[in-house]
Structure 1
């Protein structure tokens, strides 16, 4: 009987000692649940501004060296330096857009005036158009109708044109919303230059708490990647578009702003300016004299090749990540996430590449430290 009582007392004591541990775990789970709930609510509140915040952060990191130099030139007046950089950024964005809008409006007005006056003449199609596979007969019929009665063709294609115009309006609205968010990001970045060092220290502290010295290395690598991509991709694209606009203006090419903007976008998305410059060169040999056409070609060809020389040098400068990894990140990020992926792609891929190397090295060191049988 005494042994049974002793065993019962021991079981009671074990139960009493187990209860606080269970209560502690339940309390921890409740705390984590509350923290997770508030984190989720916070993310839903911040999500509409996430793109603007990311763009503002990228702009601040990329342009902070320029801000620091300008502040030093202005005698330490940080507010004035931030204001000047913000105004320059807005001018870089708004200036080309204004040139494109005015140029497109003038071209559309001239085309409309010429159409109203009956000055648009469509030549008759060649008989060889009928021999085109699959679409030859249809193209020939519509082309012949356009050459004989353009108004009738427009009325015939009116439903398709209305559908295309609706799609175009939606695309323009999306582009306009993206540009508006980018302009807001430029304005926000202007307010981030002065507290930039404090924000950077906070980010470094957070990274160090998560991954120690490796986290600080990731922060440094992210900063270098953003600045290198800004110089090697965005900077080179701006140079190419600017030089292209100058050459086109010298030869009095119409719609210079729109063509230069197309060159800028193609260079940023890593397609290159060839789809725009090559047709221009061919057009120049048909429309210009031999001498001007040769000069036109000799000026445009180096512009098309600038990025092949400058981009690899600027993008990989000061980084331990291989150039191939960075370029794959730039291309993959742009194709997957658009313009913002231009920066996020190489950053994510570089961090993953570095983590993979650390893991492989740790595995190799562990194998070397194993005692041999």
Structure 2
């Protein structure tokens, strides 16, 4: 029978210098492995970020549904229902837009063929412009009133650059579909874990950074939630109000235009682009009064939404001044892309907390 050698580790304790070196080596090993793991999943960081933003925004709704006695213990069902609702909110508008575009494709193709063969007639309203009518008419007659089949612009539509741009657009669209699919899967997993995930996250932050770190995390989550409410809710409101204005002024495809306006209004200062283009279309049809009325109504709606409603929704949730909210949204979008719209205000919250602690 072979006897095990006696454990002499307690008789020979590790020297302090070696222990420090071992801890430093372990820390370096952990940091290296974490960085390696982040590098491996680098293509999915945006997916997780989008899923996190949506989950933070809907977390109060999730907790409220879970507290209902009819849904107690049915976390998978709740997660599936919420994920399906998010998917439909994105897929249905896109599907409506594609269907509308396909319905208009025939008329657009006929107009395009007519323009190639006969040119584009000068709109009547140009002759009634208070200034610049003669110069615009001369340019139009020289460039657009003649058949466009032999023009340099039409020939450029068939060059390799345009074909390359088309392929790149298709690749980007496919990438967006893949990202959205993985985001839905990630969102379902987050919803399914429910309170366990949030509790573990808070405990981990509190253990690593104390109560101040946990409070900061909660305020950052509130900033993201407030930004989602301020951008999405206000954007939908602007879309509905401007859709009514589109209907009154006689614009076609009111529902589609309202949807496009709502999406544009979710981005700061982008709604004027949509109703401005709609007003130009009315002006081209000779409806000068309707175009002016649309611009006036749209400007009022956007001014009230951007300067009063949106700052209140975002600022009350984040306790941030309006200027920091604006800088966070615009700077975040410039730095991180579309996801930065929601990340920026959260980072401004960190800056505000640091400044508050500094001046105490």
Fold match by TM threshold 0.5: yes
Equivalence for 1:11: none
1:52 aligns with 2:51: no
Measure the CA separation in 1 of the matches of 2:247 and 2:135: 41
Which stretches in structure 2 are left out of the alignment for 5+ residues? 1-13, 127-131
8 A Cα contact 1:326 1:346, kept in partner: yes
Task: Report the CA distance between 1:49 and its aligned residue.
Answer: 1.4
Cα offset for 1:334? 1.4
Change (3 A) 1:154 1:99: farther
Offset at residue 224 of structure 1 (A): 1.0
1:164 positional shift = 3.8
Give, in whole Å, the separation in 2 of the partners of 1:43 and 1:290: 57
Are positions 1:41 and 2:49 aligned together? Answer: no
Equivalent residues of 2:311, 2:325 under 8 A apart: no
**How many residues matched?**
337
String of CA shifts for 1:92-145, please: whole Å, max 9, x gaps.
Answer: 11112112222223333322133446676323799x79979xxx9xx94x9625
Unaligned runs of 5+ in 1: 1-18, 362-373
Give me the whole-angstrom Cα distance separating, in 1, the residues matched to 2:170 and 2:33. 37
Aligned counterpart for 1:86 among listed residues 83, 88, 91 = 83
Do residues 69 (structure 1) and 69 (structure 2) align? no
CA contact (8 A) 2:275 2:294 kept: no
Specify the SS of the correspondent of 1:147.
coil
TM-score, L = length of structure 2: 0.78
Q: 1:20 to 1:298 in 2, by over 3 A?
A: closer
Q: In the superposition, relative to structure 1, how do residues 165 and 300 fare at CA in structure 2: closer, same or farther (>3 Å)?
A: farther
Which is worse superposed, 291-300 or 23-32? 291-300
1:147 aligns with 2:145: yes
Q: Provide the residue aligned with 2:234 in structure 1.
A: 236
**In the alignment, which residue of structure 2 is the partner of 1:215?**
213
Cα distance, 1:60 vs structure 2: 0.9
> 2:328 matched to 1:329?
yes
Q: What's the counterpart of residue 350 of structure 2?
A: 351
CA distance in 2, matches of 1:301, 1:159: 36
Contact 2:318 / 2:349 at 8 angstroms: preserved in 1?
no
Tell me the residue number matched to 2:200.
Answer: 202
Counterpart CA distance in 1 for 2:203 and 2:348 is 23
Task: Detail structure 1 runs of 4+ shifted over 6 Å in the superposition.
Answer: 128-132, 288-295
Cα pair 1:122 1:147 within 8 Å, conserved: yes
Residues 5-39 of structure 1, C-alpha deviations (whole Å, 9 max, x = no match)? xxxxxxxxxxxxxx934433433333233222321
Q: Tell me by how many angstroms 1:243 deviates.
A: 4.0
1:99 aligns with 2:96: yes
Choose 1 or 2 for highest CA Rg: 1
RMSD, aligned CA: 3.7
In the alignment, the residues of structure 2 paired with residue 155 and residue 292 of structure 1 have an alpha-carbon distance, to the nearest angstrom, of: 33
Counterparts of 1:1-373 in structure 2, within 5 Å, are 20-72=15-67, 75-76=70-71, 77-116=74-113, 121-123=119-121, 140=139, 144=142, 146-153=144-151, 157-158=155-156, 162-171=160-169, 173-245=171-243, 247-248=245-246, 253-256=251-254, 259-281=257-279, 283-284=281-282, 287=285, 300=298, 303-308=301-306, 309-361=308-360
* Alignment deviations for residues 241-271 of structure 1 (CA, whole Å, 9 cap, x no partner): 2443455456663455654454234322212
3-state SS of the aligned residue for 2:316? coil
C-alpha contact (below 8 Å) 2:122/2:145 kept by paired residues: yes
